[in-house]
Amino acid sequence: MEIRALAVTADALAMALGVSGLLLLVLSAGSDCWRQDAKDPLSSVGLSVRCRGLWSECIFDNVASLWTCDIPISYLSEHPAVLVITRVLVILSGFLTLAAFPPFIAGMKCTNLIRDKVPLKYKFSLAAGSLFLLGGTAGAVAVLWYGIDTVQKYKLEVSFGIPGVTYELGYAYWLAAGGTACTCSAGILLIVASCLNAQSQEKDQSPRRRCPDFKGTYL
């Protein structure tokens, strides 16, 4: 009973992490503020706030309280490689995370979708953990690459005193970072819990060794 309670707790925690990761990834992908103008002397004078996302560039006018976005005519036109790859990896991360939920629900200890087939439940949980981990890894690569590119451009523009607006990491970037962390944590938790449960199940089902009976044996 104690092992089962721990397994149910691990499933609940993994579910919370997986749902949180998926929501954060969706919010970050739909937000237009992966980069925002830096608050330094090379930035704007404070009359507006500029944000760049994966799909558009937006400006908020502080005087008129107006938010306007510049959407490209075609998403298939030429764009920087880091932007295109980040788009692909974020979308891939979201799809992999979403695809992990059906096997995860089927493999949960508190569900009865698969009855009397405990090894099959472990396989479903292991598959769900692998999908969560792959989705989190794809998102982590996107976040890391985009962050390094943004920091390098910022340092270059500041060091050379390039006029214009300099950009730093925006709130949507940190939403994506949190989403990938939650997704990776859910995957690792499911994989570890599935392996431990499988080992404990094998130990319970293995026949106990019995000592030979030497009664009535004389030399």
Phi, psi of 74 (to 5 degrees): -140, 135
Q: How is residue 159 written in tokens?
A: 């060091």
Q: For residue 165, with 0-12 CB atoms within 10 Å meaning exposed, 13-18 middle and 19 or more buried, which class applies?
A: middle
pTM, two decimal places: 0.81
**Hey, what are 211's tokens?**
């000592």
Cα separation, 191 vs 123, whole angstroms: 10
Give residue-wise pLDDT tens across range 59-108. 877 777 777 887 776 666 677 888 889 999 999 999 999 999 999 998 88
Cβ atoms 12, 49 nearer than 8 A: no
For the ranges 51-65, 134-148, 186-200, the maximum mean pLDDT occurs at 134-148
Contact indicator for 184, 25 with CB cutoff of 8 Å = no
pLDDT tens track for 127-172: 999 999 999 999 999 999 999 999 998 888 777 776 667 788 999 9
Tell me: the pLDDT tens digits for 105-137?
A: 988 877 777 665 667 888 888 999 999 999 999
Going by the DSSP 8-state scheme, the letter that residue 67 receives in this structure is E
